[in-house]
Amino acid sequence: MAGIPSEFIDQLIDRIDIVDVISPRVNLKKAGKDYQALCPFHTENTPSFTVSHSKQFYHCFGCGKHGSAIGFLMEFEGMDFVDCVETLAQSAGLEVPNHGKFQNHSKGLFEIVEQANRYFVNAYTQSDFARNYMQNRGISAQTCQTFQVGFAPDSWDGLMKRLQHTAQDDLLKAGLIVHNDNGKVYDKFRARVMFPIQDKRGRVIAFGGRAISDDQKPKYLNSPETPLFHKGKELYGLNIARKHSNEKSIIVVEGYMDVIALHNAGIKNSVATLGTATSQDHIVTLLRSYDEIIFSFDGDKAGREAAWKALKTSLPVYRDDKNIKFLFLPEKHDPDTYVKQHGQGAFIEQINSAMSLSQFLLKRLSHKIDLTSIDGRARYIDNSRSFINELPNGQFRKLLLEEISSLTKTKVDFKEKVKVNKIQSIDQWTPIRKAIAILINAPNLVHVFSENQNLNQIKQNGIKILTEIVAFCRLNPHITTAVLIENFREHDAYSHLCALATVSLSLNREQMLLELEDIRKHFDKSVQKNKINSLRLKQTEQGLSQPEKLELVELLSQQLK
């Protein structure tokens, strides 16, 4: 578990309540002893997302997502395991113990990048040229301070000299220096205004640099992919938007200066993609935190094509309870130039008139198609098929089909995606699978298996993982389902164990106890049978000693009882 002691994970899960972790992010409602909600991970009209307080486990019967509080935070916030543990530990008032090489390596890179950020910010405060550049672009000193705008001096090794005690390999891993074909090493960012990129926790993980002279290429230069920075997952300004705005909508723009200019004008709910097309990870991240996404692209042909790509990317993750819109500014304008020329009010008016995803899609599909002709309507239906089939089942999909039917004067009904889940009755399970499922749901029933019962003598599939679960439960007789599952996170059988944790056994404690006792007896007979077969084989091949003969007689007599 990334070097974090399992004992600490156990303590953490015992200290936190999964309901407290999920309820601020999902609207949970009490349903008997559990909680239910519309799943935050897929579109649905009736609640299939269940949170079990007793198991400290969540499960969606619609999309199959499941896990502990740690797993939920990883899925919902897009954090890695270590970040989730550290976030939950902070909320629980616990300090994560030193967790080895991974932590030291990551922590080291975070410190290096933060030191670089301080170097750039300090250089900015001392550079009249850089400050004048931002001032001439209409950005206040306060806004620059909020976004920690910096400056990389026009020097080949200014940063390297400042971080002279840091190994070059680490500077390379952090994306702060580069080397050419001749082996010469130098600073990656030079003579650029610097924009630090922060993760969801507000830690600097990378940089974007803007050239401040017209002859410098490229105009924008981003950090490369590093262990800390994955541009397809990160959004510039998200941490600041969350901190400074309570809006339920988020505006997605293309550049750093668009975000900064909007914030400077009082529109503080914007983020930017980082030199890459909008990804599904971007959209999923935003849909979890906001009710509405408004894509605002430049008002030129390239901007419209970027918007169209964003629409296609959005379709598989679209949700009935959310909105996605598209704002197309006038030609030769981007959010930066528009808000400076026309002001906050005019930009908000543009936002209010943004085109819905359905409007944009239907308009694009009808481009150069004559809907008054049969041929045109047939072509329109055929063009729409692939887009409709990308959408998840739900009301939005149905209403869009109705609109296409109305436009084409034809009943259009592409078949919904059908997901068949075959749930085998517990009565049809093997004894081993049944034992695993019961122990996952009620770990304290492990006492049914005596310590001298050697399960390893049973030659059946799954006995190895059952043996490991029994051993772990004996050492930790008071654990919850969530603790048990988390301790097997890196095990090959982890996903299988999670699935068993979500199954409703329809058994009360007494019935589970009886089931386990029957399984134990079955195992005893299996061990007995294997021993008899082994002794008989030895008797045939080489004969038995007197003690072995007595043991065989005893085993045979027990078998008759």
Please give the full DSSP string across 494-534, using - where no structure is assigned.
HHHHHHHHHS-----HHHHHHHHHHHHHHHHHHHHHHHHHH
273 pLDDT above the threshold of 70:
yes
User: What letter represents residue 167's amino acid?
Assistant: A
Domain ranges for the chain, please list them: 6-92, 101-222, 238-361, 366-408, 426-560
420 pLDDT above the threshold of 50:
no
Please give the average per-residue pLDDT across 523-532, as a whole number: 75
Tokens matching residue 332? 């030769």
Tokens matching residue 179? 């080397």
pLDDT band at 558 (very low <50, low <70, confident <90, very high): low
Query: Could you tell me which of 402, 397, 144, 403 has the C-alpha nearest to residue 263?
Result: 144
Dihedral, 469, 474, 475, 481 alpha carbons, nearest 10: 50
Q: Poorest-confidence range of 54-63, 95-104, 480-489, 537-546? A: 95-104
Which DSSP letter does residue 214 get? T
Q: Poorest-confidence range of 334-348, 476-490, 509-523, 546-560? A: 546-560
Please list the residues that pair with 210 across neighbouring strands: 193, 220
442 pLDDT above the threshold of 60:
yes
Please give the average per-residue pLDDT across 490-518, as a whole number: 85
Please give the average per-residue pLDDT across 132-153, as a whole number: 96
Distance CA 231, CA 218 (A): 18
**Confidence (pLDDT) at 58:** 93
Please give the average per-residue pLDDT across 322-326, as a whole number: 96
Distance CA 227, CA 203 (A): 14
User: Which run of H or E residues covers position 555?
Assistant: helix 546-560
Check residues 223 and 414 and name the one with the higher pLDDT.
223
104 pLDDT above the threshold of 70:
no
Q: At 167, give phi and psi (nearest 5°).
A: -60, 140
Q: 366-408 adopts what CATH topology?
A: Pheromone ER-1 (1.20.50)
Q: 6-92 adopts what CATH topology?
A: DNA Primase; Chain A (3.90.580)
Q: What is the CA radius of gyration of the chain?
A: 31
135 pLDDT above the threshold of 90:
yes
535 pLDDT above the threshold of 90:
no
Residues in the chain: 561
> In terms of CATH architecture, what is 101-222?
Alpha-Beta Complex (3.90)
> In terms of CATH architecture, what is 426-560?
Orthogonal Bundle (1.10)
Distance CA 189, CA 156 (A): 9
Distance CA 26, CA 114 (A): 33
Mean pLDDT of all residues in the chain? 88
**Confidence (pLDDT) at 422:** 47
User: Which run of H or E residues covers position 339?
Assistant: helix 335-352
Distance CA 126, CA 128 (A): 6
User: For 283-294, how does the pLDDT look when each residue is reduced to its tens digit (9 = 90+)?
Assistant: 988 998 899 999
**CB neighbourhood size of 500 (10 A):** 21
**Confidence (pLDDT) at 141:** 97
User: For 194-213, how does the pLDDT look when each residue is reduced to its tens digit (9 = 90+)?
Assistant: 999 998 888 999 999 999 88
**Confidence (pLDDT) at 99:** 56
Please give the average per-residue pLDDT across 342-354, as a whole number: 96
User: For 61-100, how does the pLDDT look when each residue is reduced to its tens digit (9 = 90+)?
Assistant: 888 888 999 999 988 887 788 888 888 988 888 888 865 5
pLDDT band at 542 (very low <50, low <70, confident <90, very high): confident
**Confidence (pLDDT) at 341:** 95
Q: At 165, give phi and psi (nearest 5°).
A: -90, 5
**Confidence (pLDDT) at 462:** 85
Express as a percent the part of the chain with pLDDT over 70.
94
Tokens matching residue 469? 């679960």
**Confidence (pLDDT) at 19:** 93
pLDDT band at 421 (very low <50, low <70, confident <90, very high): very low
**Confidence (pLDDT) at 96:** 84
Q: At 364, give phi and psi (nearest 5°).
A: -65, -40
pLDDT band at 148 (very low <50, low <70, confident <90, very high): very high
445 pLDDT above the threshold of 80:
yes
Check residues 60 and 103 and name the one with the higher pLDDT.
60
Tokens matching residue 6? 């399992």
Q: 238-361 adopts what CATH topology?
A: Dna Topoisomerase Vi A Subunit; Chain: A, domain 2 (3.40.1360)
Residues 161, 162, 164, 168, CA torsion sign: negative
User: For 457-494, how does the pLDDT look when each residue is reduced to its tens digit (9 = 90+)?
Assistant: 777 788 889 989 988 888 887 888 888 988 888 888 88
Encode 165-183 in three state secondary structure: CCCHHHHHHCCCEEECCCC
